Structure 1
C-alpha cells in the first residue's frame, strides 16, 4: 500500500488517481500527525511525503517514522515545490528519505520510482521471511544437535556400565565408541579384536550392513593378556532416526562357560545315546528270545496238557462210568486242564502283540460280519440279539482289531443277565479329536466305536482294574475266563494309537468305547512304543 501525506487535498487527489490507474492501493493523510497514526496501524511499502506542512513538516515526520520498527523497510519520497536548494535535499536524505522530488512532478517518473521502491519493499519482506525461516531452521537443528549429543552421551554412559564389550559404529563402518571392556581383546579403540580365523564374520556382516539388518554370530576372541581364545556372541543392531541410519550398536557377550557346558552336554548325550542304542539292541534281542521262549514253552506245555485231557476223557469213558464220585473228581480235573489250556493260549496271544504288523484300510463291517459267524452257536443258544450299525473304513491291523471285537463280544455274551437274553449293539461316529467325550464331526480325524450290552455291568470304581492282565471282578466259579482278554484289547488299541474305556453300572449293562484314528501316522506298527 502507498501512503500520500499532504496538507492540501488538491495535491493528494491527482497523485492518488495516477497511482490507482497503475493498480496501486493508495491511502492518504492530511497532516504529519495523521500519517504517524496510520503508520502505527498499517504497513506501507512507499510513503510520498510533502515537505512543507503546518504542524509537523515532512522532515520531522520522516525522523519519527524512522523510529518505528514496523516501517523500517518503508521507502520515503519527499515532494517539495519551494525547498529546492541543495541543503534541503540533503536534509531530506538525512531524515531517511530515499528520493527528493520537486514539484511539478512528472507522473511517469513518479510511477516508475514507486514501482521500483514497492518491488524493493516486497523483496525485503521476502528476504526477511527467508531469514526468519532460516533462523528457525537453525534453531531447530541446533536443538536437534544438542538433543542428539545428549542422547549419544546417555548411550555411551549406558554402554560404559554394561558387563559386555560394547561399541558403536558409524554408518560408513568406522568405530565410533568402545567401552573399557573392549581393551581386554583389542589393542586400540579404533581396531577390532583378534577373531579366530575359523570364525570369519566379514561376508555375513557386510551383507547385513548393506541390508541394514541385525547381525548375530558366535566368534572366538583372543585375550590380549593371556592369548587364549574365548567364545563370544557378537550382536550388532542398526539404530535409525526417521528411517535414516544414524549408527550401529554392538556387543560381544562372553559365552565361553555356556559353550563348554553345551559341548560337555553334547558329549554326554552322545555317550548316553550310544548306550541306549546298545541297550535297545540288547532289548530287541532279549525280546526276540523271550518270544521264542514263550512259543516253545507254550507248545511244550500244551502237548502234555492235551495228553492229560485225552487220558482223563478215556479213563472217564472206559473205566469210571459207574463211579459217580470218581467221575466228579475227573470232571474237575478236565475243567482245570481246559482252563490251563485257555490261559496258555491267551498268554501266547498277549506275548505276540509286540510283533510289528502293517496297517491297512479295513472295512469294519466286513470284519464284524465274518467275526459274528464264529459266535453263531453261542448267539443261537442264548437267543442273543446283535446289531451292527454301518462303520467306516479305518487304517488298522485287521487281526488285532478282530481280537478286540472278539474279546468285547465274548464278554458281552459271557456276562449277560441270567434272566434275559443278551442284547449287543455296535455303532460308531467320526469325532473331531482324540478323546472319549469328543464332539461328533462328519470329517473328523478319529472314529468313536461303542460296543454296548445289557449285561450285569460293574462298578466304575474298578474301571482301572479291568484292563490289567489277570485282573478279574468275578470268581472263576461264577464266570469262566483268564483275566487276559481286556488286557489284550487295551494293548491292541494302544498299538493303533487309540483309546479304550468303559461306562457301566451294576445290573445296567456296559458300554465299551473305542477311539481310533481314521488314518495312521505310520503304516507299520511300532513295537517300541509298547
Structure 2
C-alpha cells in the first residue's frame, strides 16, 4: 500500500488517481500527526511525503518514522515546491528519504519510482520471510538431529533385547550395529551371514536401499553350530528424517518351523485336490445320469397326460356336448392336464440348465425378433405395443439366453392389466462395472439390458421370492403359469456370469434389469478360475 501525506487535498487527489490507475492501493493523510498514527497501524511500501506542512513538517515526520521498527523497509519520497535548494535535498536524504522530487512532478517519473520502490519493498519482505523460514528450518533440523541421536540410542537398546537377529545399516550400505543373535550365523559383525546359493540377494536389496523403500524376502541362512540352512524372513525398514533415509533397521526372523509346516500343508492340499477332482468326475457322471433319468421320467409322464387330454376332448365333443355342467368339469380337467404338461416341460428345462454349453457371439436383436415372432398371435390378440432398441452382440449360450428373454416377454404379456394394451420396451446400454447402478461407459465390459412394461407390477417386498422356483405372487386362477419361468431366467443369467433384478410397484408396471458381460473370457469369474 502507498501512503500520500500532504496538508492540501487538491495535491493528494491527482497523485492518488494516478497511482490507482496503475493498480496501487493508496491511503492518504493530511498532516504529519495523522500519518504517524497510520504508520503505526498499517504497513506501507512507499510514503510520498510533502515537506511543507503546518505542525510537523516532512523532515520531522520522516525522522519519527525512522524510529519505527515496523517501517524499516518503507521507502520515503519527499515532494517540495519551495525547498528546492541543495541543503533541503540533503536534509531530506539524511532524514531517511530515498528520493527528493520538486513540484510540479512528472507523473510518469513518479510512477516509475514508486513501482521500483514497491518492488524493492516486496523483495525485502520476501527475503525477510525466507530468512525467518531458514532460521526455523535450522532450528528444526538441529532439534531433529538431537532427537535422532536419542532415538538411535533407544533403538540399539530395543534391538539388543529382540529374540531375533537384528542390525542397523548406514545409507551407504555398511553395517554399523548387530545384536548378539547375529553371531549364531556370522562371526563378522560387518559382514552378512552365509546364504543358500539359490537365495543370493546382495544386488536386490541394494536396489531397494537406493530407492528408500522397505524390503522383505524369505531367505535361507547357514547356522554355524548345526551347519544347516534355516528359513528366515529378512526385513529392511528405512528410518527417515525429512523424508530422507538416515538409517536402515533390519531383522532376520526364523520361520523355519512355519515353512516346514506350510510345505506339509501344501502336500496335504495337493492330495485333497486330487481326491476332489475324482469326486467331481463322479459327481458329473451322477449328474448326467440324473439328467437322463429326468428326461425319461418327464417323457413317460407327458405321454399319459397327452392321452388324458385327447380322450377328454373326444368325450366332450361326442357324448357331452349337450350337458353344460359335464363340459365345465371336463374343461377344468383339460386345463389341469395342460398346466401339468407345462409344469413337466418347465421342470425338464430347469433340470437341464446345469448341462455344460459353449459360449459364442450372439446377436440379441435376432433372438428378440425370433421370440416376438413366436408370440405374434398373443401380441395381436392383446394389441400389445412393443419397442426394441439397438441390442448388442455379446458372448452367450444362445438357447439359454433365449429362455431368459422369452420368459421376461411372456410375463410382460401375461401379467398385463385388463382392457389396457400392454406396452413393452427392451433397451440396452454399455456400462463400466457389474453393478445394477453402474454408470454408462462406451468402453465398459458389460451391458445393462432392461425389459419394462405397464402391467400389474408387484410389491418389491416380495423381491426375494420372484426368482425362487414354484414361487407365485398371483393367483393361478387369474394368470396361468408354473412359477418356474423367472427361476429359469435367474439360473441362466448366473450361468452367463451376470446378475438379474427387478424394480416394480403395484399397478405401475415392472422393470427387469440384466447385467451381462460382453466377452465371457474377460470376466473376473473366468480370470480367477
The residue matched to 1:480 in structure 2 has which SS?
A: coil
CA distance in 1, matches of 2:246, 2:224: 31
Pair 1:326-2:333 in alignment = no
Pair 1:463-2:463 in alignment = yes
Q: Is the CA contact 1:201–1:217 (under 8 Å) kept in the aligned structure 2? A: no
- Superposed displacement of residue 382, structure 1: 1.7
CA distance in 2, matches of 1:186, 1:321: 108
Q: Is the CA contact 2:426–2:451 (under 8 Å) kept in the aligned structure 1? A: yes
Aligned residues: 377
CA distance in 2, matches of 1:503, 1:239: 56
- Superposed displacement of residue 193, structure 1: 6.3
Deviations 1:140-176 (A, max 9, x none): xxxxxxx999999777555433322245789999987
Residue range with higher mean Cα deviation, 407-416 or 447-456: 447-456
Q: Which residue of 1 aligns with 2:452?
A: 452
Q: Which residue of 2 aligns with 1:233?
A: 233
The residue matched to 2:481 in structure 1 has which SS?
A: coil
The residue matched to 2:451 in structure 1 has which SS?
A: strand
- Superposed displacement of residue 429, structure 1: 2.1
The 5 Å alignment of 1:283-322 reads 283-322=283-322
Q: Which residue of 1 aligns with 2:510?
A: 510
- Superposed displacement of residue 303, structure 1: 1.6
The residue matched to 2:482 in structure 1 has which SS?
A: coil
- Superposed displacement of residue 364, structure 1: 2.1
CA distance in 2, matches of 1:191, 1:441: 57
TM-score of the aligned structures, taking structure 1 as reference length: 0.61
Q: Is the CA contact 2:185–2:221 (under 8 Å) kept in the aligned structure 1? A: no
The 5 Å alignment of 1:4-43 reads none
Q: Which residue of 2 aligns with 1:30?
A: none
Structure 1 residues 148, 379: CA separation in 2 closer, same or farther (over 3 Å shift)?
Answer: closer
The 5 Å alignment of 1:83-482 reads 157-166=157-166, 178-185=178-185, 199-200=196-197, 203-205=200-202, 216-222=217-223, 224=225, 230-234=230-234, 251-482=251-482
Structure 1 residues 256, 305: CA separation in 2 closer, same or farther (over 3 Å shift)?
Answer: same
- Superposed displacement of residue 328, structure 1: 2.6
Q: Which residue of 2 aligns with 1:56?
A: none
Residue range with higher mean Cα deviation, 289-298 or 262-271: 262-271
Structure 1 residues 201, 154: CA separation in 2 closer, same or farther (over 3 Å shift)?
Answer: farther
CA distance in 2, matches of 1:178, 1:248: 12
Q: Is the CA contact 1:223–1:229 (under 8 Å) kept in the aligned structure 2? A: no
CA distance in 2, matches of 1:364, 1:253: 59
Q: Is the CA contact 1:216–1:236 (under 8 Å) kept in the aligned structure 2? A: no
Structure 1 residues 355, 162: CA separation in 2 closer, same or farther (over 3 Å shift)?
Answer: same
CA distance in 1, matches of 2:500, 2:296: 32
Structure 1 residues 239, 462: CA separation in 2 closer, same or farther (over 3 Å shift)?
Answer: closer
Deviations 1:44-99 (A, max 9, x none): xxxxxxxxxxxxxxxxxxxxxxxxxxxxxxxxxxxxxxxxxxxxxxxxxxxxxxxx
- Superposed displacement of residue 461, structure 1: 0.8
The residue matched to 2:390 in structure 1 has which SS?
A: coil
- Superposed displacement of residue 340, structure 1: 0.8
The residue matched to 1:521 in structure 2 has which SS?
A: helix
CA distance in 2, matches of 1:187, 1:237: 24
Q: Which runs of 5+ in 2 are unaligned?
A: 1-146
